[in-house]
Amino acid sequence: MLYTRYYLWLLAAGLLTLGCVNPPDYPDEPVIAYEGVSKDSIYAQVTGIADSIVFQFSFTDGDGDLSSEDSTDIFYVDSRFPNTPTPLALPSIPREGTGNGISGDVFFTLINTGQVNCLYDGRFPAQNPAYPVDTFRLSIFMVDQAGNRSNTIRTGQIQIKCFGP
């Protein structure tokens, strides 16, 4: 009986020690890593076919100041329009625990409206049967509330199918 109590106290002390884990130590600027994409092609808007593609990346931020109700935190740039970043907003991320660092995964869906069209000879959208496919890549970065900019990640090449099947 004495040994049983001893082992129970030892087990309780071990569990208590495991519960005291140090918070992660992330840098103050966001760091992102490309995780993948749902597919490598999408139909253009002009085809009339509803289509979308999902991009995934992970992030860390040491000071946890990525999102607020009125901020844009994510920016992506279509390789065909290199000077036009498109802003996206993260949902509000609640702070948990005693540390300020946060991490997570972002999934964002690009629906074939707006920029998902074929570009040919400076015309947008293009409808030239001689060019049935257009391509693009996305460059993605984040900016936190303090103005710290993350690294930039790039997707693989995505095909835009300019005509329906």
Residue 42: which of 162, 130, 125 has the closest Cα? 162
Residue 10: pLDDT band (50, 70, 90) is very low
**What pLDDT, on the 0 to 100 scale, is given for residue 72?**
81
pLDDT score of 21 more than 60: no
Mean pLDDT for the chain overall: 80
Residue 160: which of 110, 109, 116, 105 has the closest Cα? 116
Q: Are 65 and 99 contacting, i.e. CB atoms less than 8 angstroms apart? A: no
Residue 15: pLDDT band (50, 70, 90) is very low
pLDDT score of 45 more than 50: yes
**What pLDDT, on the 0 to 100 scale, is given for residue 24?**
64
pLDDT score of 96 more than 80: no
For residues 12 and 53, the model is more confident at 53
pLDDT score of 104 more than 70: yes
4 residue type, one letter: T
Residue 11: pLDDT band (50, 70, 90) is very low
Domains of the chain: 37-161 (2.60.40)
For residues 83 and 64, the model is more confident at 83
Q: Is the pTM of this model over 0.85?
A: no
**What pLDDT, on the 0 to 100 scale, is given for residue 25?**
73
CA dihedral 146, 24, 88, 160 (to 10 degrees): 140
